A and B are shown apart, each in its own frame.
Chain A
């Protein structure tokens, strides 16, 4: 049975819908209200507070910490400066992605890794010969994600000991939040201006209260995972277990993915000292990836016409979906499948992330995607689009 996060006392009081899910063994709110619509708009127009404590978190310290992480990760972490965060993935020995996450450099010899899946044993197994200590801080470190255009104003009310205006996109800093020692990083999973706050679990409730109080004039609101799921699709962020599967769990080789196929090629520093999966990734680059993750935008006129043909107004999905649907080329041959998608109330577009055979993933390519209209399967035109679908200037400002 799932267990409570350090914020449960507060989130459970606010979650009037009783709409929860299991996230990594924790109770996590899907939406606080019966629908997630208001929370979605809170993320885009004010500031949403999301409990992301169930993330797996590891502290990696020691004189060889940078060298060790450079060895296990696809990116050369030795180049990461103190006070910076990087997004990346890590692979198995065959160059297939095991997970994606972030690495923060908190000090010269101190790093924090976040992951969607447990990674402690895997990291430890590869640490032989490195002077590092790997500590699983998943339970002892609570985490809040504060996302939206007013998030900076909220934090400024309550954070001391750090210059938030100077904290750039993918920066991280030590700070005090209402007297509690925390780390604040300029990161998130929404594509909005936003921050993640890393809090000792024992202070979680006090930090939550301080943020909610300081955020009131800035229209802060609690936000659940359903709203975040919509924004992460708008932002073009992939999700382990939804848009791809960790190489650690795949029964079938065909289910595994390489960083290049996942659009994470930019995170790979290939030509350097050996790292896990390097040889396979070099071969992959030479061969060229077979698949690609791409964005798809449904053709609205066709979509509307399909519904009009049965006498219905166009019915857009109420939230983000993650049941795969087939994608075809114009000749009717299946060329892949969409893994997740969402209607974007902001962009007025029907969006999907799709796993496509590489030649069909070029931006602007015309494909067809399956939709169900009044219980019948139909095809509607969709165009391959560049990710992210939505990329507001404030995200980086």
Chain B
């Protein structure tokens, strides 16, 4: 890899702008097919939001995204990512401490989970496996959708009709009830959806949050049920719904993909910010770097989000007004932040004191539906939640390589932190520490002694995610995963096939189908269609 250097050649088959996991995956597949590929990354490290950095001596933080589930298994095998250093460690469980000192842990062992849930609702405990089965069936259906380009029902192209038919056939295994469930899922709120099965608020709290992650919606907002499924589609070793840590941090996913790409001959340059795509009469033929260098390519692939791709990389002057309007309407509106802590001892929770396997999964601060909805209320009116929903992981419990012996990393995903705070987004830096305090205060209520154990604290607001990682408005998914922005509508109606209105300019990241999460599917499918187009 060339760091802060110059590319070896003056022209390539394809230039990928942005070295996030999707850009890298796209480059790897293009290089595997024998194309000359160059990846240009603005930062000094690869990975985009799937990045690990040693921010405090001895502590490797998974700065942004922190767990892996959706990374497509066929991509792991195609690119032989395990050979390139990818190791996934499954999360042991889901631990929910409650303010009253009780707790609920959902384990991979179904009997143990049933016993835990039964303490709150014997009825829910028995129904829980039924829900799991229904979600697995839906996820299997969804799997066919996420591994292929999205079919477009509005198109009159007979091939599209065929795709839809094929998808319809995949529903044949569903009985009537399941088919209706499939459609209900698209429009319901996460809470309404869960209400169909469960009575216990304690159980529904941590289950419903999967429906709001990365969206500016509440658990009672319509449409959040789909996002819930999106988080259930994760798959490890053929088992759905499983989540894992990447050994050495999430950045190792990107690093492994980059290493695979390089083994196929791709060239990757970091510290090389691109100023804009070079566009001549509606056709992209290269890029211009911020240092003025120009590099030619038969095609340019953007690994940036739709806003940055069209408003910055391409530029408004090259696009027609309708398309621009639809891109501007594409909702980014980040709603979450991240607080990463280096601590000198393992946190101990009042609800389940001491070390144990309950700390080796994810830990949810989500004590009930009302708590979550109240957290959303504050965000609606331009403030961060004073008592937010937290998704906490301590990866050092299963991967001691990320922290010095006996010390730990506590990673807190925080929602809500709206990009547009009432003071204005650019004033987030003034509120950053107050936001960090709210998160630490919240967690410390469950985890006395936490504050005293903190050696280092990194607070990332949506503003920081935008400025540092190029996520417009801090949206972790390159655009909300709400129904009107998914499938054939992602990122814009009629432009869901990774092509753009600019000839030979493609887009390959989470702002395209099938969306965000460390999936690498957008990058892979984009490479497939680009190769098929014959442009490279």
Interface residues of A (CB under 8 A from B): 33-35, 37-38, 41-42, 44-46, 149-150, 153, 216-219, 300, 304, 307, 311, 313-316, 343, 345-348
> Which of A46, A307, A316, A348 is B400 in contact with, Cβ under 8 Å?
A46
B238 with A219: CB separation less than 8 A: no
Asked if B265 CB lies within 8 Å of chain A CBs, one says no
Question: Are the CB atoms of B77 and A45 closer together than 8 Å?
Answer: no
By a CB distance below 8 angstroms, the chain B residues around A315 are: 238
Q: Chain A nearest CB: distance from B186 CB in Å?
A: 23
Are B89 and A343 in touch, CB under 8 angstroms?
no
- CB atoms of A37 and B247 under 8 A apart: no
Decide: B240 and A313 in contact? CB cutoff 8 A: yes
Q: Which interface residue of A34, A37, A217, A218 has the most chain B CB atoms within 10 A?
A: A217
Q: Which residues of chain A are near B112, meaning CB under 8 Å?
A: 34
Known: A45-B89, A315-B238, A316-B237. A219 touches B77 (CB 8 A): no
Task: Verify A348–B398 contact, CB threshold 8 A.
Answer: no
* Cross-chain contact of A348 among B92, B237, B239, B396 (Cβ < 8 A): B237
- Residues of the A chain whose Cβ atoms lie less than 8 Å from the Cβ of B401: 45, 149
User: Is B82 in contact with chain A by the CB < 8 A criterion?
Assistant: yes
B interface, CB within 8 angstroms of A: 73, 76-77, 82, 87-90, 92, 108-109, 111-112, 140, 173, 235-240, 247, 355, 357, 360, 396-401, 405-407
Question: Are A348's CB and B73's CB within 8 A?
Answer: yes
**Set A37, A150, A313, A347: member contacting B140, Cβ < 8 A:** A313
State the CA gap A307–B237 with chains docked (Å).
13
Cα–Cα distance between A127 and B198 once the two chains are bound (Å):
73
Q: From known contacts A38-B92, A313-B238, infer whether A347 and B173 are also in contact, taking CB-CB under 8 Å.
A: no
| Bound complex: CA A314 to CA B407 (Å) | 38
- Give Cα distance in the complex from A37 to B107, angstroms: 12
Chain A residues contacting B247 (CB-CB under 8 Å) are 45
Pick from A35, A153, A316, A347: contact of B109, CB below 8 A: A35
Interface pair A314/B238, CB less than 8 Å apart: yes
Within the assembled complex, what's the spacing in Å between the Cα atoms of A219 and B399?
A: 8
B238 pairs with A217, CB closer than 8 A? no
Tell whether A311 pairs with B173 under 8 Å between CB atoms, given A37-B90, A41-B90, A218-B405: yes
Which of chain B's residues has its CB closest to A150's CB? B400
Q: Of A33, A216, A307, A347, which one neighbours B357 at CB under 8 angstroms?
A: A33
Instruction: Report how far A37 CA is from B87 CA in the complex, Å.
Output: 14
CB distance from B201 to the nearest CB of A (A): 28
Residues of A within 8 Å of B73, CB to CB, are: 348
A176 and B514 alpha carbons, distance in the complex (Å): 58
Cβ B240 vs Cβ A347 within 8 A: no
Chain A residues in 8 Å Cβ range of B397: 219
Asked if B237 and A343 sit within 8 Å, CB to CB, the answer is yes
Are B406 and A45 interface neighbours, CB within 8 A?
Answer: no
- B111's nearest neighbour on chain A, judged by CB, is A34
Specify which chain A residues have a CB less than 8 angstroms from the CB of B237 in the assembled complex: 316, 343, 345, 348
Residues of A within 8 A of B92 (CB): 38
Indicate if the CB atoms of A348 and B77 lie closer than 8 Å: yes
Cβ 8 A contact of A316, one of B76, B238, B399? B238
B519 to chain A, nearest CB (A): 16
Given the complex, which residues of B lie within 8 Å of A33, measured CB to CB? 357
The 3 closest A-B pairs by CB, nearest first: A217-B406, A217-B405, A314-B238
Additional A-B contact list (12), CB under 8 Å, known A218-B400, A219-B397: A34-B109, A37-B90, A38-B92, A38-B357, A38-B360, A46-B400, A150-B405, A216-B406, A217-B400, A219-B398, A314-B238, A348-B77
